[in-house]
Structure 1
Amino acid sequence: MASEQSNNQSVERAISVLRAFLSGRSELRVSDVARATGLGVSTASRLLATLETLEFVERDEVSGLYRLGTAPITLGGVALNQNAVHREARQVAQDLAATLGLGVNVAIRRADSMFYLLNFEGRLAPRSFVLTGQRKPLYATGIGKCLLLGLGADERRELLPEAEMQPFTPHTITTHARLDQELATVGGRGYATETEELAFGRACVAAPIRGQAGDIVAAISISGPLSAIDLPSKEDELARTIIETADSVSIGLGYVGPVRAFAVSPT
């Protein structure tokens, strides 16, 4: 029993070392890792050396700083390839981003956050970083609103305490009363929008993806800078496109339920 507990502790410590690199800094000193994990410097150094031999981290020979290695990339690639939503959505999303020149993103819900499975950026919406693997708040994103449709009002309140619904901009929804109204609209028309609720200067339109049983298993969005996505004049067109794309992925996942008809708003 003592040996098993010791092994578990070693695994937990090694994972805590890897998680230290999630802080956003690309390279860390041993002391940085020790501080982030609460481990002693000697313990952190020993774990980093072991992880280096396994290619989970690598050490710069000149600076002595550590960064993540290639093993996490391999594991991430395998995990994505085994994910049914990723397999069905990848090519569709890539083609759509190329056609529209905008960003196309697919995410699933993990606890109280949305988790990006993939993202492609078109020529009108370039990024210098990859969104895959990042988490964002459900209540402040178009994809998140679609994912929340799969929960009842009581479940949403339990999952997202109102005190924790912090504003990212003045446009962020921070009360369940407003969120309920928004989700009623989203459910009625079959798509969600988000304009500067998470970050200034960006907007998106999103639609839910359903699994074989008809439950919402993921969501897909078209996103980009306000000037490129131009929701005031293009919302109907983008909504139709994202609903059709979501339906295509849903069918690939085995969903055979009714396909929602999209009604163009009067002009």
Structure 2
Amino acid sequence: MQTLEATALEDGKEDRHFVTALARGLEVLSCFRTGDKALGNQEIAKRCKLPKSTVSRLTYTLTKLGYLIQLEENGKYRLGTSTLALGSYMMARLDVKQLAKPMMQELAEFAKATVSLGTRDRLAMLYVENCRSSAALTLSVDVGSRIPLLNSALGRAYLAEISVNERHELLERFREYDEQAWPGIQAAINGALDDYRALGCTRSFGDLQPHVNGIAVAFNPGGGLPIMAISCAGPAFSLSQEFLLNEVRPRLIEMARKLQASAGRT
């Protein structure tokens, strides 16, 4: 079975404006994950669902352009400085990160939890900032890591905040990927939208990981940036559903309101 990203790439071929070679090159760069030291052509081909011969040409080209670096000792690749320059430019534009971090850290200490800021990256949510409390037991997540969009509080908040048309288009890709699982997915997303209307936040109580609770709120940072979401999450034994909804939720909603107002002025 193809990955969702590979399915999206195949769908793009129907669009005469879609450049498949460019999409494949970007797919190669995107297959590198936090914690990967280096990847060989075989590993990249497996992750991207592409022929190894195609991947070899792509990695050669990306190396020539500085987006990949080939290691002499084993022939594998790691991300190059050109990729770093692109990422650094994007992160520098995220003024909202600087605005959010003090508030995120304050909430993390209050809840003895992990507070995260993220946005969508294709069919997942990408962490762009994380703050952990000084408590011994909190979730450990890294900036640059991705989490599933559909069953995380962060992803559900994003879906609740975007326009109806955007949400329909995005969910249609999930439906086409797995028709059998779609009724359950649709029910879960409808429940999340109901939560957002009634509570002002989405929740994931054991849905993403067993024994992990979290809630999230999304906001529009303006300035042409995509919708972002903030979550507060932690182990269920130390972060109860009641505490999240009664104590953390109003603080998280207020933080999102302040960030949207402040980012808009910036």
Same fold (TM over 0.5): yes
Q: Which has the higher contact order (CA 8 A, sep 6+)?
A: 2
Cα distance in 2 for residues equivalent to 1:76 and 1:108: 14
* Residue identity opposite 1:244 in structure 2: E
Q: 1:38 and 2:51 equivalent? A: yes
Compared CA separation, residues 157 and 43, structure 1 to 2 (3 A) = closer
Q: 185, 196, 201: which is aligned to 2:195?
A: 185
Kindly state the Cα deviation for residue 10 of structure 1 after the two structures are TM-superposed: 7.3
Q: Which residue of 1 aligns with 2:146?
A: 134
Contact 1:17 1:48 in 2 (8 A): no
Q: Spell out, residue by residue over 1:119-176, the C-alpha distance to the aligned partner (whole angstroms, 9 max, x if none).
A: 223343142x514362531x3122223222235667644431474697xxxxx99243
The secondary structure found in structure 1 opposite 2:238 is helix
SS in 2 for 1:104: strand
8 Å CA contact retained: 1:17, 1:47: no
Contact 2:123/2:148 (<8 A) preserved? no
What SS does the corresponding residue of 2:116 show, helix, strand or coil? strand
1:17-32 equivalent positions in 2, closer than 5 A:
17-22=28-33, 25-32=36-43
Query: Alpha carbons of 1:12 and 1:140: their partners in 2 closer, same or farther (altered >3 Å)?
Result: closer
Aligned counterpart in structure 1 of residue 241 of structure 2, from 231, 245, 248 = 231
CA distance in 2, matches of 1:146, 1:44: 36
Q: Which residue of 1 aligns with 2:138?
A: 125
Give the one of 145, 150, 153 matched to 2:156. Answer: 145
Structure 1 unaligned residues grouped into runs of 5+: 1-7, 167-171, 256-267
* Structure 2 counterpart of 1:208, from 218, 229, 237: 218
Q: Does 1:104 align with 2:145?
A: no
RMSD between superposed Cα atoms in Å: 3.8
* Identity rate, percent: 23
TM-score, structure 1 as length reference: 0.69
Three-state SS of the structure 1 residue aligned to 2:208 is coil
- The CA distance in 2 between the partners of 1:156 and 1:49, in whole Å, is 36
